[in-house]
Structure 1
Amino acid sequence: GVGAYAAEMLVRAGVGNLLLVDSDCVTITNKNRQLLALDSTMGRPKTEVMAERLRDINPEVKLDTVSEYLTGENAAAILGPWRPDFVVDAIDTLTPKVELIKYCVAEHFPMVSSMGSGAKRDMTKIRIADLSKSHNCPLAYMLRKRLRKEGISKGVTVVYSEELPDRDAIIVSEDRNKKSQAGTLSYLPASFGCACAQAALESLITLPQP
């Protein structure tokens, strides 16, 4: 959800080269919050649907797509050849998120990482800050703990909400990759994605002009 909104905002702002990475296909459960979730796209790979949409916005955009689950083992193979000017991390599970951030820090790739939008309502509480400054976000808390074990305590830009989560909106998950799931309102992933795009553009405009 967050990644699709970020990608679209970047292309609409004039970014002309993107790599899209996502292993998922569109499902009915995405309809409440995800840009790509339509009756006409059910069951299709998200990278494929997103690429079509971005090319419909700008037919000249250059896109690569990878429909794989990003891990510590394949991060270098996926991102290494690209040497990206900026990475937007919209992964919603902790372990691959940690692995991506570790790789980007090691390779000195500028990046922004989206924290959790679940169990929250107030889009005016969204902030862009260093991970070390984030608060009231369970995902950011767990991420800080994991990254500290890897020797990373600061220097990672994140988009997070300082709003306290609504505990009644959190349920135990049966997903093997998640201990819990939090209900998400339609506009919050969009707002997080737009904030990620802002962080990306603010970094990209500092690059030397070709």
Structure 2
Amino acid sequence: IGRPKVEVMKERLLSINPDIDVETHATFYLPESHQGFIANSGADYVVDAVDTMSAKIAIIDEAYHSGIPVVSSMGAGNKLHPEYFQLDYIEKTSVDPLAKIMRRELKKRRIRRIKVAYSTEVPHKPFTDSDEVRPSPGSISFVPSTAGMILAGAVVRDLLGLD
């Protein structure tokens, strides 16, 4: 609490293996202010788990056109069944409303065969006692973390040449 997630994650990684080099960037990614960030990062792999649609598209686009493998998380909001998540190419997704938008936007950009973690669960309507017309999607701890584990597994298998 009160600390950037990237610092906490760096500490955790170094506690597992103190000999690794971890570079962190505590920044909110906006496509208009971070052009070239991914292409110039020296990354071996990009994992997209941002919530902002424009940033998600920009991250995938830049990684794809820079030749850096990328995996992406689709919608975890308003879901309660982590067992409905699966890994596949964006073209093969179904049910997930975010994946539907991503399929259309990536197709426009001629970006294909991006691996994504997505859920076949129909999102639940959020519970709210607010007067918000369209409440923000809610999430529960075990759903986004499941998507994250699926993405991590995909990256490790790809880097080891096991997929």
Q: How does 1:101-140 map to 2 (within 5 A)?
A: 101-140=60-99
Runs of 5+ unmatched residues, structure 2: none
Over the residues paired in the alignment, what is the CA RMSD in angstroms?
A: 2.5
Runs of 5+ unmatched residues, structure 1: 1-41
Aligned to 1:185: 140
CA distances 1:126-166 after superposition (whole Å, capped 9, x unpaired): 110011111111111122222233233x2111000111111
Aligned to 1:80: 39
Aligned to 2:106: 147
Contact persistence 1:89–1:113 (CA under 8 A): yes
2:29 to 62, 65, 70: 70
Cα pair distance change 1:118/1:147, threshold 3 Å: same
How many correspondences in the alignment? 161
Cα pair distance change 1:44/1:205, threshold 3 Å: same
Aligned residue type for 1:164: V
2:121 to 160, 163, 166: 163
Whole-angstrom distance in 1 between the partners of 2:17 and 2:139: 30
Contact persistence 2:89–2:116 (CA under 8 A): yes
Aligned to 1:201: 156
Cα pair distance change 1:205/1:69, threshold 3 Å: same
Contact persistence 1:170–1:182 (CA under 8 A): no
What is the TM-score normalised by the length of structure 2? 0.86
Aligned to 1:45: 4
Whole-angstrom distance in 1 between the partners of 2:32 and 2:124: 35
- 1:56 matched to 2:56? The reply is no
Aligned to 1:91: 50
CA distances 1:70-126 after superposition (whole Å, capped 9, x unpaired): 233454543233332211111111010000011011112111101111111112211
Cα pair distance change 1:61/1:180, threshold 3 Å: farther
Aligned residue type for 1:141: K
What is the TM-score normalised by the length of structure 1? 0.68
SS at match of 2:24: strand
Whole-angstrom distance in 1 between the partners of 2:105 and 2:135: 18
Contact persistence 1:84–1:109 (CA under 8 A): yes
Whole-angstrom distance in 2 between the partners of 1:117 and 1:44: 24
